[in-house]
């Protein structure tokens, strides 16, 4: 398993080794030892999510109140997608910045987003499947979003889209990053760092 720490604190890319043969292929997209060595703590999985999207669908930018927040380990077992990690944590040195990573069913690369980070993706093929390992269960009262078409964010959808994106009404009407900040919806960077340290301390205990 190859691990790459991304420039946004709390975000990692994991690339597993695949084992193809005459029968097909075997791959382990999540491997606890590699994950724990990279992050300093194990991943507590409270819920798994599975989404199927048509070509051109954008989901996100989604994030949760932190703490407790919801960390996500995501990969694409079918199709291909452009995955976006967006730093929406007030006070972060990389606030408003994003990382774009292609996830697909040829390399089975995975991405981990710590609690407090925003997540979005664009399906690049029909029947694109996204699989999520989530640290907490769904809590609608703690879930928030930022508009993925916010021009100030400048997410790179146009580089991959030939036509108009397909969005849910909730995502299409979500506030801009600036509006979300004004409303007090965004996580606090230092509160997130304290939460990450609590996770690491619990792992050492």
Which are the catalytic amino acids?
62, 132
- Transcribe 101-127 into DSSP letters: EEEETTT--EEEE-TT-EEEEEE-STT
Is the Cβ–Cβ distance between 43 and 202 less than 8 Å?
Answer: no
Of 143, 159, 28, give the one whose Cα is nearest residue 84: 159
Say whether 160 sits in a helix, a strand or coil.
coil
CA–CA gap between residue 193 and residue 112 (Å, rounded): 16
Of 70, 72, 205, 202, give the one whose Cα is nearest residue 133: 72
Say whether 201 sits in a helix, a strand or coil.
helix
Residues 6+ apart with CB under 8 A from 181: 90
């Amino acid at each position: 398993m190859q691990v790459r720490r991304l420039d946004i604190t709390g975000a990692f890319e994991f690339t597993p080794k695949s084992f193809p043969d005459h029968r097909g292929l075997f791959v382990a997209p999540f491997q606890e030892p590699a994950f724990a060595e990279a992050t300093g703590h194990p991943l507590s999985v409270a819920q798994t999510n599975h989404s199927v999207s048509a070509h051109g669908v954008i989901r996100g930018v989604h994030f949760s109140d932190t703490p407790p927040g919801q960390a996500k380990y995501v990969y694409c077992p079918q199709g291909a997608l452009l995955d976006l990690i967006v730093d929406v944590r007030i006070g972060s040195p990389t606030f408003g910045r994003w990382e774009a990573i292609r996830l697909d069913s040829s390399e089975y690369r995975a991405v981990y987003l710590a609690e407090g980070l925003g997540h979005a993706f664009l399906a690049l093929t029909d029947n694109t499947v996204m699989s999520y390992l989530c640290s907490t269960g769904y809590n609608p009262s703690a879930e928030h979003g930022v508009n993925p078409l916010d021009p100030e964010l400048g997410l790179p959808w146009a580089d991959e889209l030939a036509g108009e994106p397909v969005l849910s009404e909730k995502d299409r009407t979500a506030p801009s990053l600036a509006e979300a900040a004004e409303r007090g919806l965004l996580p606090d960077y230092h509160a997130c760092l304290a939460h990450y340290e609590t996770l690491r301390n619990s792992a050492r205990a």
